[in-house]
Amino acid sequence: MTITYRDLLKQAQRDFTNPKDAEYVVQTLLNKPRHELFTFQKVDNPNIINRYHKLLMRYQPNMPVQYLVNKAYFLDYELYVDHRVMIPRFETEELVMKTAQKIRNPHLIIDIGTGSGAIAIALAHLFPQAKIIATDISPDALDVAQINVDKYQLQNRIILTLGDLFPNQNNWKQKVDLIISNPPYIPEDEIKKLPPLVKNYEPLLALNGGKNGFELIQRIIENGVKFLNPSGLLALEIDPRQVELIKSMKLSREFEKDNQGMIRYAFAKYKN
Ligand SMILES: C[S@@+](CC[C@H](N)C(=O)[O-])C[C@H]1O[C@@H](n2cnc3c(N)ncnc32)[C@H](O)[C@@H]1O
C-alpha cells in the first residue's frame, strides 16, 4: 500500500494528543519543510514508517515531543535534546539576538548553565572570532552539549566545563567580554504548579531558582564582577518579578521585554 506524506500526517494527528506534536514528529521523520507534509508525495523509505511506530510506542500524552524525537530547534540550529537538558525556548533565542545587538566583537564569553549548548552554539556562529566557556553543574547536561558542539564542529571554540555557575577560578585568569545566562529562575515553591509537560519531564536542576527564583541570579551578579572586563556585559534571562531585586543590587542595568510584552531580560554593567 502506498502511503503519502499527507496520510502519515493524518495518522499522526489521530495518534498524538496535540496536532502540533503530530506535525513535529512527521516533519522530523520526513526531514522536509512543513508545507510538504500536506502533499501527496509518497513515503518511499519503509524505515520511516518503522521509525514512526517505534516513536509511537515511546510516546506518552503530555510528554514534550522534542524529547520523543530527540530534536529541538534554536534559531538556525537543530539540536539533539533528551531528558537530561531543558528544551531551549523562544525567549532564549531573543536573549541571544538582543545580546548580539549590544556587544561588538567579543573575544571571550562565558555561557552559564549551557544545558543543550544552545546559547553557546548560536553565539559561536554570530561571533566567529569568539571563544566560549560554557559551564553547567550537571555532567549529564554537558554530555548533551558535547553532542551538539561536535555536530557543529565547534570543539575548538566552545569549551564545556563542569562548574557551579563559573569556571573554577584557580584555573581561570582571563577576563571575559560577555557573561550570558538563562539560569534556573522559577521560585522553588512554584515548581509544583508548572504544567505536567514541564515539571514531569524537564530537569529540576534547570528550573529551580531557589527562593524567589533569585538565588542563582543573585550569585551570578555578585560574582560576575570577578570574571568580566570592566566594560563587559552581563546578559540574563529573568522572571519579571525579579526586576526590583536586580535594581537593588549595585550595578548599572537596563531591562527589556520579550515578544509577549513581559520584562524578560536584564543587561548589566559593573561600571557606568
Ligand atoms: C534554564 S536551563 C538553560 C539551559 C540552556 N542555557 C538554555 O537556555 O536552553 C539552566 C541550566 O543551568 C544549569 N544549572 C543549574 N544550576 C547550576 C549551577 N549552580 N551552575 C551551573 N549550571 C547550573 C542546569 O543544569 C541547566 O542546564
Q: How many CA atoms lie within 13 A of 29 on its CB side?
A: 27
Count the Cβ atoms, other than its own, within 10 Å of residue 222.
12
User: Which residue is associated with the grid cell 545580546?
Assistant: 99
- 171 pLDDT tier (thresholds 50, 70, 90): confident
In angstroms, what is the span from residue 200 Cα to ligand 1's centroid?
17
In angstroms, what is the span from residue 86 Cα to ligand 1's centroid?
8
Is pLDDT larger for residue 56 or for residue 169?
56
Residue-averaged pLDDT of the chain: 95
Nearest CA to ligand 1 atom 10: 206
Query: Which pLDDT score is estimated for 192?
Result: 96
- 272 pLDDT tier (thresholds 50, 70, 90): low
CATH class for the domain made up of 75-270: alpha beta
In angstroms, what is the span from residue 30 Cα to ligand 1's centroid?
32
Query: Which pLDDT score is estimated for 24?
Result: 96
Probe ligand 1: pick from 89, 93, 96, 137, max atoms within 8 Å of CB? 137
Query: Which pLDDT score is estimated for 62?
Result: 85
The H helix count followed by the E strand count for the chain is 11, 9
Q: 0.85 cut: is pTM over it?
A: yes
Nearest CA to ligand 1 atom 4: 115
In angstroms, what is the span from residue 112 Cα to ligand 1's centroid?
7
Residue 183 reports pLDDT greater than 90: yes
* CA–CA dist 100, 106 (Å, integer): 10
Query: Quick one: average pLDDT of 209-220?
Result: 96
Query: Which pLDDT score is estimated for 71?
Result: 95
Instruction: Give pLDDT tens digits for 107-121.
Output: 999 999 999 999 999
Tell me the chain's radius of gyration from C-alpha atoms: 20
Please list the residues that pair with 160 across neighbouring strands.
134
* Per-residue buried b or exposed e for 69-79, using 16+ beta carbons within 10 Å of the residue's own CB: bebbbbbebeb
Residue 248 reports pLDDT greater than 80: yes
